[in-house]
Structure 1
Amino acid sequence: MRTPADSRAAAQRLIAALPRPLPHDEARRADAVQAALLASGLLDSSDLGNAPAVQAAARDGLTSLTHLLDKDAPGHGAGQLLLLLLAEQVAFTPHPTPDEDQLRARDAANALLHLALWHTDDPMHLLGSALQVHAKEAHHHRTKTE
């Protein structure tokens, strides 16, 4: 089981590897997100084109982003990620205003969800799975360190 620190490092590598801005062309955008997953270590090069493996990598990326958001607000990363995604979807600004790192995490989450559309019919299920994995990993880490 990964530690939250391992996940945060993977999330930072993922964010750093994503081009800004992402390509508008659907295929080029998917390729860029998969390349970022490869660079982050969340996807293995032998798994390119393997839908279950890409789904798992996207889920792990979302989990990692949640751990990253947990760093500054322990126990609130999942809610913060959902709020950031919802705020962008319905065009409102949460209070307090998200900082640049939070916006980058949101953009990476959106990119992963967009990639998931190529590999699953239900990206929201993928997001829910990522939040469940986050909760298990965070709980495991807390009980292990206490």
Structure 2
Amino acid sequence: MMSTPADSRTAARRLIEALPRPLPRNDGRRADAVQAALLASGLLDRRDLGNSRAVAAATRDGLTILAHLLDENAPGHGAGQLLLLLLAERDGFTPHPAPDEAQLRARDTATGLLHLALWHTDNELRLVSAALQVHAEEALLADRP
């Protein structure tokens, strides 16, 4: 994982920028695009491409760094924002206040990561939970003197 939340935010920006917009609609192409973005961001190594555990871990790390990125404008609330954005996307509602462009890009990236996770794990909820736990631990460590 990243050494600091600031490093995570930088990696999250690289991940977001590496994804094509819009993501392909074809399931296989979409998964390939997300995997390529994980490679470009440095969260996934080329030798781990066929390794489901490594891809799932990179996906978890991607969700974690997105939560750190969302913390930037709402310190201590990035994980909650990420979860709310994912639920809003899944259930088709708009949170209040409405997400800005940066939040929507983080949401789209997280949605793409979870799509890729479907190919590499049988428990996406556990993956999201692990990402939020890692985020909380890293944020706590960053706050310590």
SS in 2 for 1:74: coil
1:23 is matched with 24
2:113 is matched with 112
Q: After TM superposition, where is structure 1 displaced by more than 2 Å over at least 4 residues in a row?
A: none
- Asked whether 1:54 is paired with 2:68, we answer no
SS in 2 for 1:94: coil
1:13 is matched with 14
1:128 is matched with 129
Q: CA deviation at 1:9?
A: 0.7
Q: Cα deviation per residue 1:60-95 (whole Å; 9 max; x = unaligned)?
A: 000000000001000000110111111111111111
2:84 is matched with 83
What amino acid maps onto 2:68 in structure 1?
H
Q: Give TM-score scaled by structure 2 length.
A: 0.97
What amino acid maps onto 2:126 in structure 1?
H
Q: Cα deviation per residue 1:80-121 (whole Å; 9 max; x = unaligned)?
A: 011111111111111111000000000000000010000000
Q: How many Å separate the matches in 1 of 2:138 and 2:4?
A: 7
Q: Give TM-score scaled by structure 1 length.
A: 0.96
Quote the RMSD (CA, aligned, Å). 0.8
Q: CA deviation at 1:8?
A: 0.5
Runs of at least 5 residues in structure 2 that lack an aligned partner in the other structure: none
- Asked whether 1:35 is paired with 2:40, we answer no
1:140 is matched with 141
Q: How many Å separate the matches in 2 of 1:2 and 1:117?
A: 28
Residue correspondences, number: 144
What amino acid maps onto 1:52 in structure 2?
R
Identity across the alignment (%): 72
1:3 is matched with 4
SS in 2 for 1:22: coil
What amino acid maps onto 2:110 in structure 1?
A
Q: How many Å separate the matches in 1 of 2:79 and 2:56?
A: 19
Q: How many Å separate the matches in 1 of 2:100 and 2:74?
A: 13
Q: How many Å separate the matches in 2 of 1:90 and 1:26?
A: 20
Q: How many Å separate the matches in 2 of 1:86 and 1:25?
A: 22
Q: CA deviation at 1:26?
A: 1.1
Runs of at least 5 residues in structure 1 that lack an aligned partner in the other structure: none
What amino acid maps onto 1:65 in structure 2?
L
